[in-house]
Amino acid sequence: MAFDTLSTPHGRRTRCIGGAATHASVAASYFAPSLGLVGVVGEDFPAAYRAILKRRKVALDGLSTAKGKTFHWKGRYDGDMAVAQTLKTDLGVFATFDPAVPAPWRKAPFLFLANIEPGIQEKVLKQMTALRFSLLDTMNLWISIRRAALLKVVKQVDAVVLNDQEIRQLTGESSLIKAAKACLKLGPSHVFLKRGEHGATLIGAKEYFHLPAFPTDKVVDPTGAGDSFAGGLMGWLAREGRTSPAALRAAMAAGVVLSSFQVEGFSLERTVRLKTPEIAGRLKALRSMTNF
Amino acid sequence: MAFDTLSTPHGRRTRCIGGAATHASVAASYFAPSLGLVGVVGEDFPAAYRAILKRRKVALDGLSTAKGKTFHWKGRYDGDMAVAQTLKTDLGVFATFDPAVPAPWRKAPFLFLANIEPGIQEKVLKQMTALRFSLLDTMNLWISIRRAALLKVVKQVDAVVLNDQEIRQLTGESSLIKAAKACLKLGPSHVFLKRGEHGATLIGAKEYFHLPAFPTDKVVDPTGAGDSFAGGLMGWLAREGRTSPAALRAAMAAGVVLSSFQVEGFSLERTVRLKTPEIAGRLKALRSMTNF
């Protein structure tokens, strides 16, 4: 959970609602039958932001409020907006976060470990008692400075979601195919590779599935695109209640579609107001874009 | 038509058979009912190399032999082999090439203008009298130093085949979607975007179709991958005798498959010895890789 202060060629926003868990939850809410968020905010986190999540039926029993300030990210995107430039990061209450999963949620079958320090991710994972599918996200920072802790938690999850740079950094392989295969040896049965404008690829021991990015020329703010991708796909799996190859593929398509909406507005501006037919329309279009 | 002297992490070859027309023709030969090559070689071009093309049923009536040396490219690929490093280029007989299309070929319905100086491409195009579909390839050099001549011939073709860098350089747009749309305004009705390990995308006014690269971790020599892609797709169109949306999509798939074989060996080593079931197998696999 975060405040984001950011500028892109399309405008700027100050202290808008952000954070990986936020974006993933809202994306997942379009599919998941029920959904809870575990995280921490400071005393400065406004009720209006909680209300946004509640309206999307995201349960907040796992959201603790700690003394101090909410995590705050300040950044900007220039040019083609492929890479965020971080101007400042205020860790705030993240520095001492000790996550507690509410008792009734510990039996949840589907878990998304959004990007955060890997020791914290593992603490959440250890509290779960009936997992059927767990997905882990991370970032270059943790691959670099928390490598051992990260590898330990990666070994215990069913799947990871990484972008090009992250998987190369994690495995030391420059070829994406080789990097993905190396990643499977670390423990997960599947890798979801986020390739930005080049789409997404699902790779498993006997699986290779690729989708293009949903083509759009109105990228307003890329923040949260990867989180919406992961959230959309986990929400879809939760709705299906299955992790068959077909379910994983359709789930990835749902992730691609949710992330395509996410980038069309700042913060949650576009993603909180989606209509079911809009989502279905892009899923159908995505299918036709790869059909021959 | 060229001699290629090159090294990759997998080995080296000296004066092997190369050139855009060579690679495109051999790839096209797996589908096209009949096929001719217009080009020029020097007196040093060996009969054994002509024989390779003849065995693939590539008619050489349009291949002239000029006084002087065959074009010779010397280069190397390092690391992940995404980019060729040119060590030396001997233009040889290309410097004064004035292409003549054999009279019976001028009524051919399908034309691929492989990468060469755009004025030469236009001279070939002008000789054609019954075209149904023409495709043009080019490179960074011509976009830079022959821009006006290139734009003139681009305006007259049905489609162009470009990689990421080329389309950005040609249009000045960094977003690939915007670049493709800008490219359509230059004249062609379709753009085939070659994205290397990220696959290929077909873009038209009402068309958006994407395929992943065929996943392989044994890239031996990337030389000719783009030419095999273009040749495979043009050969497919020639066989179909149609340029419907469905035909263009299937043709692009054929291009992706042919280029996937091309990179698995040096020069034509892999591509000259393909079996029909191998090609059909990869087409089927490619279809399943995008199905959800």
Write the secondary structure of B166-205 as one string of H (helix), E (strand) and C (coil).
HHHHHHCCCCHHHHHHHHHCCCCCEEEEECHHHCEEEEEC
- The C-alpha atoms of residue A70 and residue A280 are separated, in whole angstroms, by 35
Task: Say what the pLDDT of residue A95 is.
Answer: 87
Task: Say what the pLDDT of residue A273 is.
Answer: 96
In the structure, what pLDDT confidence band is assigned to residue B81 with cuts at 50, 70 and 90?
confident
Task: For residue A23, give both structure tokens.
Answer: 């974006």
- B292/A198 touch (CB, cutoff 8 Å), yes or no: no
The answer to whether B258 and B271 are in contact (CB under 8 A) is: yes
Residue B83 at interface with chain A, using a CB cutoff of 8 Å: no
Mean pLDDT of A120-128: 98
In the structure, what pLDDT confidence band is assigned to residue A251 with cuts at 50, 70 and 90?
very high
The answer to whether B120 and B146 are in contact (CB under 8 A) is: no
- Closest chain B residue by Cα to residue A211: B290
Q: Which of B31, B97, B21 is nearest to B64 (CA)?
A: B97
Residue A78 at interface with chain B, using a CB cutoff of 8 Å: no
The most distant pair of C-alpha atoms in chain A lies apart, rounded to whole Å, by 56
Q: Which residue has the tokens 């700027």?
A: A12
- The ipTM, to two decimals, is 0.81
Half-sphere exposure in the Cβ direction for A254 (13 Å, CA): 25
Residue B209 at interface with chain A, using a CB cutoff of 8 Å: yes
- The C-alpha atoms of residue A190 and residue A162 are separated, in whole angstroms, by 11
- B177/A290 touch (CB, cutoff 8 Å), yes or no: no
Residue B199 at interface with chain A, using a CB cutoff of 8 Å: yes
Please state whether beta strands B200-204 and A59-66 pair in parallel, antiparallel, or not at all (unpaired). unpaired
Q: In what order do the strands lie in the sheet with A133-137?
A: A110-113, A133-137, A159-163, A190-194, A200-204, A207-211
- Flag whether pLDDT at B122 surpasses 80: yes
Residue B176 at interface with chain A, using a CB cutoff of 8 Å: yes
Task: Say what the pLDDT of residue A48 is.
Answer: 97
Size (chain A), residues: 292
Interface of A with B in 217-246 (CB under 8 A): 217, 219, 246
Report helix angle B20-28 to B225-240, nearest 10: 40
Cα B198-B201-B203 angle, rounded to 5 deg: 155
Residue A157 at interface with chain B, using a CB cutoff of 8 Å: no
Q: pLDDT (tens digit, 9 = 90+) per residue, B107-116?
A: 999 999 999 9
Closest by Cβ to A80, choosing from B175, B197, B210: B175
- Flag whether pLDDT at A155 surpasses 90: yes
Task: For residue A125, give both structure tokens.
Answer: 């994972």
In the structure, what pLDDT confidence band is assigned to residue B207 with cuts at 50, 70 and 90?
very high
Closest by Cβ to B176, choosing from A174, A197, A292: A197
Task: Say what the pLDDT of residue B4 is.
Answer: 97
Task: Say what the pLDDT of residue A99 is.
Answer: 97
User: Strand pairing partners for A140?
Assistant: none
In the structure, what pLDDT confidence band is assigned to residue B216 with cuts at 50, 70 and 90?
confident
- The C-alpha atoms of residue A73 and residue A89 are separated, in whole angstroms, by 5
Check residues B57 and A217 and name the one with the higher pLDDT.
Answer: B57
The answer to whether A146 and A168 are in contact (CB under 8 A) is: no
- B175/A219 touch (CB, cutoff 8 Å), yes or no: yes
In the structure, what pLDDT confidence band is assigned to residue B17 with cuts at 50, 70 and 90?
very high
Residue B175 at interface with chain A, using a CB cutoff of 8 Å: yes
The strand ranges marked E within A78-144 are 84-90, 110-113, 133-137
SS3 for B102? coil
Full-model pTM: 0.89
Q: Which of A251, A277, A203, A192 is nearest to A226 (CA)?
A: A192
- Flag whether pLDDT at B174 surpasses 90: no
Minimal CA separation from A289 to chain B, in Å? 4
Q: pLDDT (tens digit, 9 = 90+) per residue, B88-98?
A: 999 999 989 99
Residue A199 at interface with chain B, using a CB cutoff of 8 Å: yes
Residue B50 at interface with chain A, using a CB cutoff of 8 Å: no
| B174 interaction partners in chain A (CB closer than 8 Å) | 79-80
Q: pLDDT (tens digit, 9 = 90+) per residue, A37-96?
A: 999 999 999 999 999 999 999 999 999 999 999 999 999 998 878 788 999 999 999 989
| B195 interaction partners in chain A (CB closer than 8 Å) | 198
In the structure, what pLDDT confidence band is assigned to residue B250 with cuts at 50, 70 and 90?
very high
- The C-alpha atoms of residue B93 and residue B72 are separated, in whole angstroms, by 10
- Flag whether pLDDT at A121 surpasses 90: yes
The answer to whether A125 and A156 are in contact (CB under 8 A) is: yes
- The C-alpha atoms of residue B52 and residue A191 are separated, in whole angstroms, by 42
- Residue B173's identity, in one-letter code, is E
- Closest chain A residue by Cα to residue B199: A198
Q: Please give the C-alpha separations between residue B90 and each of B17, B65, B72, B84, B95, in angstroms, as whole numbers.
A: 15, 16, 5, 16, 10
Task: Say what the pLDDT of residue B254 is.
Answer: 98
Q: Which residue has the tokens 């579609």?
A: A257
Q: Residues with Cβ < 8 Å from A248, sequence gap 6 or more?
A: A190, A202, A207, A209, A237
- The C-alpha atoms of residue A246 and residue B133 are separated, in whole angstroms, by 38
- Flag whether pLDDT at A124 surpasses 80: yes
C-alpha torsion A118→A140→A266→A272, nearest 10: -30
Q: How many CB pairs under 8 A join A and B?
A: 79
Radius of gyration in angstroms for the set of CA atoms belonging to chain A, rounded to a whole number: 18
In the structure, what pLDDT confidence band is assigned to residue B197 with cuts at 50, 70 and 90?
confident
Task: Say what the pLDDT of residue B217 is.
Answer: 73
For A41, list phi and psi in degrees, rounded to 5.
Answer: -130, 170
- Closest chain B residue by Cα to residue A175: B80
In the structure, what pLDDT confidence band is assigned to residue B82 with cuts at 50, 70 and 90?
confident
Q: Would you tell me how many other CB atoms lie within 10 Å of the CB of residue A206? A: 7
| B263 interaction partners in chain A (CB closer than 8 Å) | none
In the structure, what pLDDT confidence band is assigned to residue B80 with cuts at 50, 70 and 90?
confident
Minimal CA separation from B182 to chain A, in Å? 12
Residue B216 at interface with chain A, using a CB cutoff of 8 Å: yes
Test the A interface: residue of B80, B236, B290, B291 with most A CBs within 10 Å: B290
Task: Say what the pLDDT of residue A220 is.
Answer: 95
Task: Say what the pLDDT of residue A217 is.
Answer: 73
Task: For residue A104, give both structure tokens.
Answer: 């009734």
| A250 interaction partners in chain B (CB closer than 8 Å) | 292
- The C-alpha atoms of residue B23 and residue B118 are separated, in whole angstroms, by 19
Residue A284 at interface with chain B, using a CB cutoff of 8 Å: no
In the structure, what pLDDT confidence band is assigned to residue A5 with cuts at 50, 70 and 90?
very high
Task: Say what the pLDDT of residue B228 is.
Answer: 98
- Closest chain A residue by Cα to residue B78: A174
Domains recognised in chain A with CATH numbers: 2-289 (3.40.1190.20)
Residue B178 at interface with chain A, using a CB cutoff of 8 Å: yes
Residue B78 at interface with chain A, using a CB cutoff of 8 Å: no
H/E stretch holding B32 reads: none
Percent of residues, chain A, with pLDDT higher than 90: 92
In the structure, what pLDDT confidence band is assigned to residue A195 with cuts at 50, 70 and 90?
very high
- The C-alpha atoms of residue B22 and residue B238 are separated, in whole angstroms, by 17
In the structure, what pLDDT confidence band is assigned to residue A263 with cuts at 50, 70 and 90?
very high
Buried b (16+ CB within 10 A) or exposed e, A125-141: bebbeebebbbbbbbee
Residue B200 at interface with chain A, using a CB cutoff of 8 Å: no
Report helix angle B245-262 to B225-240, nearest 10: 140
The answer to whether B133 and B237 are in contact (CB under 8 A) is: yes
Mean pLDDT of B224-253: 98
Task: For residue B218, give both structure tokens.
Answer: 């044994």
Q: Which of B152, B201, B157, B210 is nearest to B179 (CA)?
A: B201
The answer to whether B167 and B185 are in contact (CB under 8 A) is: no
Task: Say what the pLDDT of residue A81 is.
Answer: 81
H/E stretch holding A75 reads: strand A72-77
- B217/A177 touch (CB, cutoff 8 Å), yes or no: yes
- The C-alpha atoms of residue A92 and residue B66 are separated, in whole angstroms, by 74
Task: Say what the pLDDT of residue A216 is.
Answer: 82
Write down the mean pLDDT value for chain B.
96
The answer to whether B91 and B19 are in contact (CB under 8 A) is: no
For A138, list phi and psi in degrees, rounded to 5.
Answer: -155, -165
